[in-house]
Amino acid sequence: MRIVVLGPPGAGKGTQAERLADDCGVPLISTGDILRDEAASGSGIGERIERRMAEGRLVPADLVTDLVRQRIDRPEARSRGFVLDGYPRTMDEARALDDALSDRDTALDLVLLLEAEREVLIDRLSGRIRCTRCGAVYHERLNPPPGGRCSRCGNTEFEKRDDDRPEAVERRLDEYRRQTEPVVDHYREAGLLRRVDASGDIEHVWNRTRRQVDARS
Ligand code: AP5
């Protein structure tokens, strides 16, 4: 399966995409995570990426597209497919992905759009924390680490993301409206889009997500 997960910041893309990739037995390609790793590497390009992300601005499309192409060319992604979280999010990126897949004689099977009200998004982003060791994502109130320990690696320290500050969140929501909503239309017109009500707890959203994937398979 080749699946794209779209949606505004805080809709739960990362949370659902990780589970979906696991469930389908395909690699997860999360551009947010790939870019955060690049930023943490301390390279010159990493510093530029880090600044843009902290401000809530998109990273240049050609740079992100190169990173995505490398991932979809890995043998596991070539043979089994992938779940793409957070890409494409501009029309340039969407066209680049269409071209990359068609050059490889393949295509997307499904695009999932996670949708939730603005208050829900803000609430989720303002309480998000992640493990300082492995990066696993939790929420202070809605999805706390069980017993204060990361269930993936056992660490007890958590941090907030720089771009979850209110002013960066506003800019990210604005970028989504301006740059990503046209991408949603592009996939709707292509007949690939399936909408998922992303309000409610993680389990409910997962059931709705799974149903949309089952309906397509
Ligand atoms: P990225 O990391 O992809 O950020 P985003 O798209 O803004 O999405 P988020 O990660 O904030 O939210 P999410 O929808 O994944 O929600 P999550 O599951 O974490 O990108 C960051 C930056 O990288 C961009 O701003 C840009 O600069 C750059 N970038 C990335 N891709 C790019 C691209 N293609 N082109 C250019 N630049 C790019 O959940 C949020 C919180 O809610 C968590 O605390 C979680 O535990 C909780 N939660 C989730 N679901 C539920 C639920 N159902 N109920 C209760 N709590 C929930």
pLDDT in tens, 122-166: 999 999 999 999 999 999 999 999 999 999 999 999 999 999 999
Query: What does the pLDDT look like over 88-105, one tens digit per residue?
Result: 999 999 999 999 999 999
Q: Whose CA is nearest to atom 43 of ligand 1?
A: 128
Assessment of whether the complete model's pTM goes beyond 0.75: yes
Which amino acid appears at position 154 of this protein?
Answer: G
What does the alpha-carbon distance between residue 67 and residue 72 come to, in Å, rounded to a whole number? 9
Instruction: Give every CB contact of residue 18 below 8 A, 6+ residues apart in sequence.
Output: 28, 30, 85
Is the separation of the CB atoms in 14 and 6 below 8 Å?
no
Q: pLDDT tens-digit profile of 63-84?
A: 999 999 999 999 999 999 999 9
Decide: 158 in ligand 1 pocket, CB within 6 A. Answer: no
User: Cis bond leading into 144, ω under 30°?
Assistant: no
The answer to whether the CB of 9 falls within 8 A of the CB of 172 is yes
Q: Is the CB of 8 under 6 A from ligand 1?
A: no
Give the pLDDT band of residue 43 (cuts 50, 70, 90). Answer: confident
Decide if 37 contacts 80 (C-beta within 8 A).
no
Mean residue pLDDT of the chain comes to 96
With tokens 């990503």, the residue in question is 180
% of the chain beyond a pLDDT of 70: 100
Atom 53 in ligand 1: which residue has the minimum CA distance?
A: 202
In short, whether 202's Cβ falls inside 6 Å of ligand 1 is yes
